[in-house]
């Protein structure tokens, strides 16, 4: 299978993103990150999605309507919808929740694979999911408390450990854009690495950055890439595509 390029944004510059893998290397790119320094999720998130190819996790995503999943462009660019499936609403990427087949992939037209911005995409499901979706948020100012979710690597060195089966979560915050390198602060969020050693990693790409509390979460970010160009995870802030910044494009496609 072609390995998808969802690295933590280190290997091919700004285009690389916090890759997603979980037990296999799917198509088109380097795939291997998990949340470093996080913990097993303490609750279930009905809208959390594991995008899979051949039964293997390659990227995260968020169910934003019964028929649409929001993820990173680098996760699905160049991929056929026929090759993508989704497991929705389970903390275990290998079982449980709801399974669905992709029917269409829509990559943002600004995404080039190099440079900042446009690292966002939509995956349409072949049939509406029964799971409850998450709404888009609006608060993205520096200092906003957020939570990261994903099945990316839990060790910082690329390929140094297997992806976790159980969903990981990490509480952190949005910081000033100038703390990240190669970022477009108008459409991307610089996200802190607590303690200097915790954050998104290979395999977390496309997954959500959320605000709020249990039962009232909103989606503000999509895992994109490292914020300091270091291939070792969590040595600096991470860059997330701002979902609110692309709300018009999302609405035009989702309806």
Average pLDDT in the 199-226 region?
Answer: 93
Q: Is the model's pLDDT at 23 over the cut of 60? A: no
- Choose, from 5, 30, 50, 74, the residue flagged as catalytic: 74
HEC secondary structure over the chain: CCECCCCCCCCCHHHCCCECCECCCCECCCCCCECECCEECCCCCCCEEEEEECCEEEEEEEEEECCEEEECHHHHCCCCHHHCEEEECCCECCCCCEEEEEEEEEECCCCCCCCCCCCCEEEEECCCCCCCCCEECCCCCCCCEEEEEECCECCCCCCCCCCCCECEEEEEEEECHHHCCCCCCCCEEEECCHHHCCECCCCECCCEEEECCCCCCEEEEEEEEECCCCCCCCCCCEEEEECHHHHHHHHHHHC
Is residue 119 annotated as a catalytic residue, yes or no? yes
The pTM score is 0.87
pLDDT above 60: residue 15:
no
Q: Is the pLDDT of residue 9 over 70?
A: no
State which of 10-14, 175-179, 194-198 shows the largest mean pLDDT. Answer: 175-179
Residue ranges per structural domain of the chain: 48-133, 135-245
pLDDT value of residue 181:
96
- Region 8-28 average pLDDT: 35
β-pair type (135-136, 218-226): parallel
For residue 83, which phi and psi values (nearest 5 degrees)? -90, -5
134-190 pLDDT, tens per residue?
999 999 999 999 999 999 988 888 877 778 999 999 999 999 999 999 999 999 999
The pLDDT assigned to 115 comes to 83
Say which range, 115-129, 173-187, 226-240, has the weakest mean pLDDT. Answer: 226-240
Confidence of residue 225 (pLDDT cuts 50, 70, 90): very high
- On average, the pLDDT of the chain sits at 86
Mean pLDDT value across residues 59-83 = 97
Domains 48-133 and 135-245 belong to one CATH topology: yes
Question: Does the domain spanning 135-245 belong to CATH 2.40.10.10?
Answer: yes
Which residue of the set 30, 50, 108, 119 is catalytic? 119
pLDDT score recorded for residue 183: 97
pLDDT for the residue 38: 78
Domain 48-133 has CATH 2.40.10.10: yes
pLDDT beyond 90 at 248 = yes
**Catalytic-labelled residue, pool 65, 85, 131, 205:** 205
């Amino acid at each position: 299978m072609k390995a998808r390029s969802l690295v933590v944004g280190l290997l091919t510059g700004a285009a690389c993103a916090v890759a997603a893998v979980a037990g296999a290397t799917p198509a088109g790119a380097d795939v291997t990150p998990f949340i470093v320094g996080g913990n097993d999720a303490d609750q279930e998130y009905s809208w959390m999605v594991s995008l899979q190819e051949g039964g293997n996790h390659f990227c995260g995503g968020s169910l934003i309507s019964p028929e649409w999943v929001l993820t990173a462009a680098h996760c699905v660019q160049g991929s056929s919808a026929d090759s993508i499936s989704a497991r929705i609403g389970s903390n275990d990427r290998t079982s449980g929740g709801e399974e669905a087949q992709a029917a269409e992939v829509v990559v943002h037209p600004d995404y080039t694979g190099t440079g900042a911005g446009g690292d966002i995409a939509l995956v349409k499901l072949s049939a509406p999911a029964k799971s409850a979706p998450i709404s888009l948020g609006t608060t993205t100012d520096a200092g906003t408390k957020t939570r990261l979710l994903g099945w990316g690597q839990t060790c910082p060195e690329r390929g140094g450990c297997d992806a976790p089966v159980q969903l990981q979560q990490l509480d952190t915050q949005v910081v000033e854009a100038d703390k990240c390198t190669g970022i477009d602060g108008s459409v991307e969020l610089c996200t802190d690495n607590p303690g200097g050693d915790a954050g998104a990693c290979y395999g977390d790409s496309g997954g959500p950055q959320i605000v709020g509390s249990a039962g009232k979460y909103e989606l503000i970010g999509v895992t994109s890439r490292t914020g300091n160009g270091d291939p070792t995870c969590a040595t600096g802030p991470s860059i997330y595509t701002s979902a609110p910044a692309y709300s018009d494009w999302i609405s035009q496609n989702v309806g």
